[in-house]
Amino acid sequence: MPFIGSNISAIRVSDKENGMEEETDGHENSSDEDQSVQRQQLPPRKKAKRRNVYDPEQDKNEKRTIRKEYRNLITSTEENRQDYIKADSNGLSETLAKANNLYKKVRNTHEAILDSRILVLSGDLSVQKARRMKVDSNAFDTDDYIAKLVNFMGGEQQTRGEEDDGHLDWLGLGKVAARHTNRVPSVDFMLGPLSIEQKERVKGKASARIEKDEKDLKTPISMKERDIERQENETTRNVKMLADVIQEKQPINFIELIINPESFSQTVENMFYLSFLVRDGQVSIEDEDGQPVLSRCESATAEDYENGLIKKQVVLEMDMALWKQLVEIYDIKKSVIPTREKKEYTVGKWYG
C-alpha cells in the first residue's frame, strides 16, 4: 500500500498477528512534525455475486429462455411418462439432470415454480416406477427359461413356429430332473388331474297350483273380414278427401295442412294419410323460403324412373310438445282438414 512522505525512503509493512512490526528505514531524524503522510483512499471492494440468489434485474431474454426450456422439459416428461416408468428406462435420470442444469440459472420465483413442477412430476413417476419394479421383481420370464433349457440340451434357440426338436437332448434333461425326485413315474394328463365333483340334484318343492277365476280371463278380440274392409275403406276415403283439399288449396304449407289444433291424434293421422299420396307420386313437397309446400302432381311413370327419377323418403317426428309449439308458432286456430268424428269402439270389433 503506497505512502507519500517528504523524508521517507522505504516502508515495510508487516502483519502484527505474525509477530512483525511496521518500520521505516532512512533518515530517522525526521520528526512527526516534519512528516506529512497521506494515505491514498482505495475504492470499496465489490462483493462477489452469489449464485442462486434472487435477482429481479435478470436479463429478460435469459428468463424467457429458461422458462421455455422448463416447459419443454415438462411437456416431454408428460408425453413419455409410460416409457419413463419402465425398469430399463433412464428417462427420469436424464430429466433430473436437465432440471439441475436449468436450476443453476434460476434467479426469480416464476422459474422456481416451473422447477418445482418438474420435481413433483418426476417424484410421481419415480413412485410409479418403484411400485412396478416391486410387482415385477419376482415375475417368471417364460421365454428366458425356454431359451436356457434349449441351450442346456445342446440345441440352438429356435424361431417361433418351428417344431423340430429331434436334435435336443431330452434324455439328458430327464436325468437331471430325476435327481430331485423319487416319485415313480405314472401316466397323467398334461393339463393336470381332472377335478370332477358329483353334484347332487336338488329337487324343488312343488308349488301350489294357482287356479284362475274364469271371470278374470279375457278372450282375444276376433277380427272378421268385414271389420278389416271397413277400416280399409275409411283409410281410402280419408286419403281421397285429403287429395281434394290439397287440390283446392294448393300450394299450401305442409304444417298448416296437417296440424289440427283440436286433436293431436288426428294430426298424426293426417301425416299418415298424406304419406300415401306422396308415395304414389300424387303430391310433391317443395322448399319455398325454408318452408315445405305441398302441391298436386301427376304420378310418375316407368319411363320417368328409367330416366333417373329417384324416390326419397322423409321421416318426421311429432310428439305432443312439438304439436303444441307448432300450433302456437303458426297461430293455427282451425284445421284445414275437417275434424273427423270420434268412433265408438265395441268389444269384439275393431274400426279405423
Q: What is the pLDDT of residues 141-190, one digit of tens each?
A: 788 888 888 888 886 654 444 555 557 888 888 888 888 877 776 776 66
Q: What is the pLDDT of residue 114?
A: 92
Q: What is the pLDDT of residue 123?
A: 92
How much is the mean pLDDT over the chain? Answer: 75
Q: What is the pLDDT of residue 62?
A: 92
Can you list the domains of the chain with their CATH numbers? 3-39 (no CATH), 60-136 (no CATH), 225-329 (1.10.10.580)
Q: 284 has which bridge partners?
A: 295
Q: What is the pLDDT of residue 308?
A: 77
Q: What is the pLDDT of residue 117?
A: 93
Q: 39 has which bridge partners?
A: 3
Nearest to 99 by CA among 90, 111, 87, 84: 111
Percent over 70 (pLDDT), the chain: 68
Collapsing DSSP to helix, strand or coil, 8 comes out as: strand
pLDDT, tens digit, for every residue of 9-36? 333 333 434 444 444 444 444 444 444 4
Which residue is listed with cell 471492494? Answer: 45
Which whole number is the average pLDDT over 306-326?
82
Bond preceding residue 251 cis, omega within 30 of 0: yes
Q: Identify whether the C-beta of residue 7 lies closer than 8 Å to the C-beta of residue 35.
A: yes
- Residue 4 has phi, psi (to 5 degrees) of -115, 120
Q: Identify whether the C-beta of residue 249 lies closer than 8 Å to the C-beta of residue 336.
A: yes
Q: Identify whether the C-beta of residue 150 lies closer than 8 Å to the C-beta of residue 173.
A: no
Nearest to 276 by CA among 243, 245, 254, 298: 243
C-alpha–C-alpha distance, residues 90 and 77, integer Å: 12
Which residue is listed with cell 445342446? Answer: 154
Which is higher by pLDDT, 194 or 2? 194
Q: What is the pLDDT of residue 101?
A: 92
Q: How many CA atoms lie within 13 A of 194 on its CB side?
A: 4
> Could you tell me the pLDDT band of residue 351, with boundaries at 50, 70 and 90?
very low
Percent over 90 (pLDDT), the chain: 16
C-alpha–C-alpha distance, residues 286 and 283, integer Å: 10
pTM of the model: 0.35
